Amino acid sequence: MADPHPPALAPVVSAEMLRERGLRACLGAERVVLELGFGRAELLLELAELFPERVYLGVEVSRKRVLKAGRRAERRELGNVFMIHAPAEYVLERVLPAGVVDEAWVNCPDPWPKKRHWRRRLVQAPLVELLARALAPGALLHIATDHEGYRDWIADVLAKQSAFLNLHAPAAFVGTRPERRETAYEEEWRAEGRTMAYFDYRRAP
């Protein structure tokens, strides 16, 4: 169970402070559940509320969304959820120590559909390598997308790595939503008739 966190640090935490002082000092725990690109933070906050014994860390590049999610966490009096305003790659490479993530979520990242923008996609081989470093052996990785082109891209990226075990093999993904709440984007896109793809992997020992 996480130790009580210092109120002055919650819920928005500086990436540099976390890097310098460490998880225990800043979050009151040495292991976290991670969400990269939490958007409107519905899932992040609900998971934190449902599982108070775990500590949740959300990473988001939109400062406005980080501050808004932080205010929502305070209103709900959630003491086990924290947010960082920073690129996911930076947090994985420079902030988090190896093996401290027990579970990671990447829900509906921007698909950057135009080919000239594909280099901006979050799920790339280097990011998967950074996730492999951050996740503890046996930790779970969940990725979801509604975009067909990005779905195939993610499947190809994950098929070429060896650090994670596909929980849906031989299928690359499933279309059935896992037992968790939908994000606002998922709700909107399902209403539009889009098909979701869910990837679930386990960090190899």
pTM, full prediction: 0.90
Looking at residue 137, its pLDDT comes to: 97
Catalytic residue among 102, 110, 152, 200: 110
Looking at residue 192, its pLDDT comes to: 79
> Coil, strand or helix: which one is 106?
strand
Looking at residue 82, its pLDDT comes to: 97
Q: What are the structure tokens assigned to 132, written together?
A: 């492999």
Looking at residue 180, its pLDDT comes to: 80
Rounded to whole angstroms, how far apart are CA atoms 69 and 133?
A: 27
Beta-carbon contacts of 10 under 8 Å, excluding residues fewer than 6 positions away, are: 73, 74, 79, 82
Contact assessment for residue 1 and residue 31, using Cβ atoms and an 8 Å cutoff = no
Question: In the annotation, is 102 catalytic?
Answer: no
Looking at residue 10, its pLDDT comes to: 66
Rounded to whole angstroms, how far apart are CA atoms 170 and 127?
A: 23
Looking at residue 126, its pLDDT comes to: 96
Looking at residue 4, its pLDDT comes to: 46
Going by C-alpha positions, the residue among 29, 33, 41, 32 that lies closest to residue 3 is: 29
- Which residues of the chain fall short of a pLDDT of 50? 1-9
Beta-carbon contacts of 79 under 8 Å, excluding residues fewer than 6 positions away, are: 4, 5, 10
